[in-house]
Amino acid sequence: MEQHNVGGTDGNILIQNALQTVTMGMTQKKGTGAGNYTTTSATFVDIDTTNLSFATVVPTGWKALITFSATATMNVSANANFAITDAGTGLIIAGITGTTNQIISFQWVFAGDGASHTFKPQYSIAGGNTLTAFNSAANLTPVMTVLLLPSN
């Protein structure tokens, strides 16, 4: 795994891939806090296509640690699922059931292949019921974090 340390404009060291096109770092994406997200879809759909999406190249020899957390509820006791996806393909799925408010949190380690990837959380619910992911305040939103770094 070849990497380069390049001086940043603020004097910090930046760790980049060999082509100096990707820099190690962490990005957090979160909901707007302007109103809950809801779905009745039995198939996976994006929670928020604008604010909960991160596109990056994951270089060969690097990994992306993707975490997601949200508070959710359903109108009836049903099976609901959340997923971390790459361009619509599920990487990991976590499920909940019941009607009480539930915190869901999970992660995935994505091995780099040198290609561009778009990571998004998605959700679905069985039986035409309603699944709500809370997004009602600045500190009550779904959150996705991506940590990109060299790894073996």
Q: Tell me the pLDDT tens digit for each residue of 62-97.
A: 999 999 999 999 998 889 999 999 999 999 999 998
Taking the C-alpha atoms of residue 28 and residue 151, their distance in angstroms, rounded to an integer, is 20
Q: What is the pLDDT of residues 2-23, one digit of tens each?
A: 455 555 565 566 676 666 667 7
- Torsions phi, psi for 126 (to 5 deg): -80, 155
Q: What is the pLDDT of residues 103-128, one digit of tens each?
A: 999 999 999 999 999 999 999 999 88
**pLDDT recorded at residue 18:** 64
Q: Which domain holds residue 68?
A: 22-150
Question: What is the domain count for the chain?
Answer: 1
Residue 16: inside a domain: no
Residues ≥6 apart with Cβ < 8 Å to 119: 53, 54, 55, 56, 64, 66, 84, 85, 86, 110, 144, 146
Residue 111: inside a domain: yes
Residue 11: inside a domain: no
Q: What is the pLDDT of residues 19-64, one digit of tens each?
A: 666 777 899 999 999 999 999 999 999 999 999 999 999 999 999 9
Residue 37: inside a domain: yes
Around Cβ 69, how many Cβ atoms within 10 Å?
A: 17
**pLDDT recorded at residue 98:** 84
**CA-CA-CA-CA torsion for 48, 141, 51, 128, nearest 10 degrees?**
0
Residue 125: inside a domain: yes
Taking the C-alpha atoms of residue 44 and residue 136, their distance in angstroms, rounded to an integer, is 22
Q: What is the CATH number of the domain that holds 99?
A: 2.60.120.760
Residue 9: inside a domain: no
**pLDDT recorded at residue 1:** 47
Composition of the chain by helix, strand, coil, percent to 5:
0, 60, 40
Two structure tokens written together for 98: 């019941």
Residue 15: inside a domain: no
Residue 12: inside a domain: no
